[in-house]
């Protein structure tokens, strides 16, 4: 079994990346082969609306025709058994890099039929991990869940199975004294990092184990 994770954060060792690594550790504990890809390392853009993936009889029907660093990644995804996307929340939704990746990944498989169907060749498991500076209460007040549910619905339609988890009120800086962040309580942030973030890591590990067949 192959499980792939995609980091939509520009940071490779912080909250999002750490949780994705825990997902892959959980999958590996059940015997899965794993791979973590940092999207900010790749050279690509979002969908260019060429519609080659929708052209009747076209060579790229159901596939993205753009040739760049995502081309070999998409081939790997078609051979994977599970994929997990991860992103910090910027202004209420995922990072720009993750959004561009999702456009390129999802649109070619979506048919313009009634009802819409998926051209992805089989059913695989998918997941999403969201990290954010806001609390769970603030997330609900600001309507973030609508975005998360939309992503879940689209991933389920394209691939068959999907779930997500959130990590709230995350620790953002090594030294808060060097950053203009007066509205944030650095001591409470540090305490939550020590007490709650490890629980999030356990949840992520469990997600990965579940994707690879564990309970």
* Domain spans of the chain, in order of start: 2-211
Is the pLDDT confidence value at 134 over 90? Answer: no
Token look-up 């997990």 returns 84
The answer to whether the bond into 115 is cis (omega within 30° of 0) is: yes
For 2-211, give the CATH class. alpha beta
CB 56: neighbour CB atoms within 10 A? 5
Token look-up 């029907």 returns 61
Is the pLDDT confidence value at 181 over 80? Answer: no
Q: What is the reported pTM?
A: 0.92
Q: Judge contact between 62 and 109, C-beta under 8 A.
A: yes
Q: Residue 125's beta-bridge partner residues?
A: 82, 161
Is the pLDDT confidence value at 215 over 70? Answer: no
For residue 69, what are the contacts with CB-CB under 8 A and spacing of at least 6?
A: 42, 43, 44
The confidence band for 189, taking pLDDT boundaries of 50, 70 and 90, is confident
């Amino acid at each position: 079994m192959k499980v792939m994770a995609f980091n939509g954060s520009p940071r490779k060792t912080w909250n999002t990346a750490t949780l994705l690594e825990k997902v892959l550790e959980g999958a590996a504990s059940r015997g899965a082969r794993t791979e973590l890809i940092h999207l900010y390392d790749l050279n690509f853009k979002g969908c260019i609306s060429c519609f080659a993936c929708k052209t009747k009889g076209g060579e790229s029907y159901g596939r993205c025709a753009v040739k760049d660093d995502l081309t070999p990644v998409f081939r790997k995804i078609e051979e994977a058994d599970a994929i997990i996307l991860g992103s910090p929340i910027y202004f209420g939704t995922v990072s720009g890099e993750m959004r561009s990746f999702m456009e390129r990944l999802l649109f070619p498989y979506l048919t313009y039929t009634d009802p819409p169907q998926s051209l992805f060749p089989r059913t695989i498991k998918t997941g999403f991990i969201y990290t954010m500076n806001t609390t769970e209460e603030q997330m609900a007040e600001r309507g973030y869940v609508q975005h998360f549910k939309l992503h879940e619905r689209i991933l389920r339609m394209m691939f068959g199975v999907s779930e997500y988890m959130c990590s709230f009120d995350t620790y953002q800086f090594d030294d808060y004294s060097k950053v203009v962040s007066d509205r944030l309580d650095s001591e409470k942030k540090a305490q939550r990092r020590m007490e709650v973030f490890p629980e999030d890591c356990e949840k992520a590990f469990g997600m990965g184990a579940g994707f690879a067949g564990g309970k």
